[in-house]
Amino acid sequence: MDSSYLIIGLSLSVLISYAFDLLSSRFKMPSVILLLALGMLTRQVTEYLGVQIPYVAPTLSTLGTLGLILIVLEGGLDIEIQSAQFGLLRRTALTALSSLVFTTLLLAGMLFLLLEETFYRCLINALPFAVISRTVAVPGAQNLSEQQREFALYEATFSDIMGVMLFNFVLLAQSSSVLGATLVFARDTLLISLVSILCCLGLLYLISRISHTVKFLPIISVLLLVYAIAQIYQMSSLLIILVFGLFLNNTELFIRGRLDQIFKNDLFEKELDQLKNLTAEGGFVIRTFFFLLFGYAANLSTLIDLDAIIVSILFVGTILGVRYVSLRVALDGPLKPLLWVAPRGLVTILLYLNIPEPLRLTGFREGVLMLTVVLSALVMMAGLIGHKPTTTE
């Protein structure tokens, strides 16, 4: 294929995705639905023209991992640790954890009854569907009140991180007892936390000393390298990314006195916006091609399977039921429209694709994954239609 056509295709993909983003903010249609539809349409066109896109599966997995890293980094860079925020951080973390656990248990129980598989296999297959997608939830929450918008942002960020950590823990429990898996998980979490702090100090020192015009890409590359090494050893590698983001966005809490002179904290704070913009725009590009490829890889016949549609509706109903109870416990005011902001997306897809083949459920319909993503996004869109933007509580 001529490289000119490839450049045209990639450029058009980004431009169309940007247009979808603008349309979604105006008409409250989640751009993920439009990207998935465009991906499916692209497959029909390429099949008609006899063109084959190679390496879809490995590219999808790689893009998903990069997207997840940038999601967590972006989330860490958005969280400000202040005494006034402690209550909100505690409520959102507990809400995310309780929703994650109870949704997983209920969905696993449903699969256990329907498919008569072992409960462990049902558990590992249900867990990805319990994770809220930050990439879909945050844009959808832009028109909510400031309090609900912050709640949605922090809850989705915690849900992504806790979901991945819980997924790794459940996989670890396969080869050892629950107690053994807990001890190993606690040891690895403590170790990775110490490594995260050392990496943060080292990277912040590099940022303060690098005078080259290219400054943040090498830093992000080092971060990706450390993440990949930790992932090889099956450690909670996302903690490194989260701690790094939190550290950089709250350096005034950690870098004081003599350390402030060593790390030139005042100079870094002026450049923090550049890193945030780079992370946001990089994440946008990665998510664009991820959802396009996922839509391209989808089999249309699996999306009109009646069993898959019924299971997806049951999944979304269960998700909303658990969310209602969790929000009722966490919040005193009205729950709507925050109740509807529980979409599934990149993390759900990535975790499900990373389930080892021996642990996959035999009778589980292939189309349930995409249908749940689409239905949860449509529910969010329907719940937000008619809601007027508010700037004050």
pLDDT digits (tens), the chain, 393 positions: 567 878 888 888 889 888 888 887 777 778 888 899 999 998 888 888 887 888 888 888 888 888 888 888 887 887 777 777 788 888 898 999 999 999 999 999 999 998 888 899 999 999 999 999 888 888 877 777 888 888 888 888 889 888 888 888 888 777 666 777 777 777 777 887 787 778 777 777 777 677 767 777 777 887 888 888 877 776 777 777 888 888 777 777 766 666 666 665 555 666 677 778 888 888 889 989 999 999 998 888 888 889 999 999 999 999 999 999 999 888 887 788 888 888 998 889 989 988 888 889 888 888 899 999 999 999 988 888 866 655 444
Question: Measured at the alpha carbon of residue 89, what is the angle toward residues 86 and 92, in degrees to the nearest 5?
Answer: 145
What region, left, alpha or beta, does residue 264 occupy, with left being phi > 0 and alpha being psi -120 to 50 degrees?
Answer: left
Would you state the pLDDT for residue 333? 76
Task: Look at residue 246 and give its three-state secondary structure.
Answer: helix
pTM value is: 0.85
Distance CA 221, CA 218 (A): 5
Q: Which two tokens stand for residue 225?
A: 């390298």
Q: What is the pLDDT of residue 112?
A: 92
Q: How far is residue 274's CA from residue 271's CA, in Å, rounded to a whole number?
A: 5
CA distance 325 to 269: 40
> Could you give the CA distance from residue 393 to residue 391 in angstroms, rounded to a whole number?
7
- Answer whether 155's CB lies under 8 Å from 96's CB: yes
Residue 391 is predicted with a pLDDT of: 47
pLDDT at site 109: 93
